[in-house]
Amino acid sequence: MQEMEKTNSVLFSREVKPSLFDYLPIDWSNIFGNNNGVIVEIGFGSGEYLQSYAVKHPEKNFVGFEVSITSMKKAHKRIENLDNVRLVITDARFGLREFFGPKSVEKVVMNFPIPWDKKSHERRRVIVPEFFETLSNVLVDDGTFELATDVEWYAKQTMETAKEMGFEVVEFLENPDREIKTRYEQKWIKYGRNIYSLLIRKVKHLEVERLIGGRHEMPHARSVVIEEKISLLNNKIFKEGKKVIVVKGVYKSTHNDAYVIKVISTDGEFQQHYYLVAYPEEPGSREWIIKLDSASNPYRTPAVKWSVQVLAEFLAQE
């Protein structure tokens, strides 16, 4: 539990933790204190590119996404003095759609993503048709997406999918001389690998369905609970549509009547680990409250909200 508290606290001055926000998508002009155009980098790694880009363009705001905490720590050291940069630790496939409103991003850049070419890893790939749907929504009119990669088939496949999804190809270059080179780019150039860069432009706006969108409320349920049923929750799986809930553990508090329930929930491909608490409203009462543990801060996606409801219903059944 202590470890969870650590990851939930704001560790870095330039870090944004959208799970703590009351309302999503985020008003980025409020975060930056100006209305400058926003550029997003997905998978900033050690942050060299983001740093150079932001220094060269103080008239723009930059938001970087990473999933690696180690990268986050390294990158944060580079950008902590830059007012126009913020970093977010979240899967960008989720974050780009949920944290940015329609027509709010001028450009999205992705440098040297892992192509996840094995069938078994395909579901980790960032550039899939749904990604272009998100781009078609969050990019401003004429907004752009730039991909740099050393994997030829990935660059070409991205270009084809972009065209199918209604984007205009501005340029596709082999071994471009890019002004700012990333760490991976420098490495691949040294090893004599070819580099491909693709620039596409948005020409058509699409509406997307956001998982959250709106007030980011704390879900909770009240229910008549049969306490004996709580231990039966262990390893229980609940499924409905794209939502899956797996109960990974149930722990009884040593100092009161509360139980802590460890849950993994999935919305499509987006998975979150968190804790729920269940406790009687009054000591000895059969009326219980089931809600998110205060140390847990998952995004309140449909699966997270449903986990509270479905567990309350399960515990109430005779």
Task: Summarize the annotated binding site for substrate as residue ranges.
Answer: 118, 150, 182-185
Tell me which of 18, 25, 45, 115 binds ligand SAM, using CB under 6 A: 45
184 binds ligand SAM (CB under 6 A): yes
Whether 72 contacts 12, CB under 8 Å: yes
Residue span 81-120 as binding mask against ligand SAM, x where in contact by CB under 6 A, dash where not: ----------xxx-----------------xxxx------
131 binds ligand SAM (CB under 6 A): no
All residues at 6 or more sequence positions from 59 whose CB lies less than 8 Å from its CB, including other chains: 36, 37
Tell me which of 26, 38, 40, 42 binds ligand SAM, using CB under 6 A: 42
182 binds ligand SAM (CB under 6 A): yes
Cα gap 81→243, rounded to integer Å: 41
What Rg value do the Cα atoms of the chain yield, rounded?
A: 22
Q: Which residues line the annotated binding site for S-adenosyl-L-methionine?
A: 41, 66, 91
How far is Cα of residue 89 from the mean position of the Cα atoms in its chain?
7
Of 267, 297, 258, the residue nearest 18 (C-alpha) = 297
**In the complex with ligand SAM, which residue's Cβ is closer, 28 or 188?**
188
69 binds ligand SAM (CB under 6 A): no
Cα gap 305→217, rounded to integer Å: 9
Q: Measured between alpha carbons, how far is residue 28 from residues 25, 152, 219 in Å?
A: 9, 35, 25
Tell me which of 68, 161, 266, 271 binds ligand SAM, using CB under 6 A: 68
Of 162, 152, 131, the residue nearest 197 (C-alpha) = 152
Q: Which residues line the annotated binding site?
A: 41, 66, 91, 118, 150, 182-185
Q: In angstroms, what is the minimal distance from the CB of 42 to ligand SAM?
A: 5
3-state SS, residue 118? coil
**In the complex with ligand SAM, which residue's Cβ is closer, 65 or 132?**
65
Residue span 243-282 as binding mask against ligand SAM, x where in contact by CB under 6 A, dash where not: ----------------------------------------
Residue span 132-151 as binding mask against ligand SAM, x where in contact by CB under 6 A, dash where not: --------------------
Q: In angstroms, what is the minimal distance from the CB of 175 to ligand SAM?
A: 16
Cα gap 224→203, rounded to integer Å: 54
Which value, to the nearest 10 degrees, does the dihedral of the CA atoms of residues 17, 19, 22, 23 take?
A: 90
Residues that bind ligand SAM (CB under 6 A): 42-45, 65-68, 71, 91-93, 111-114, 126, 182-185
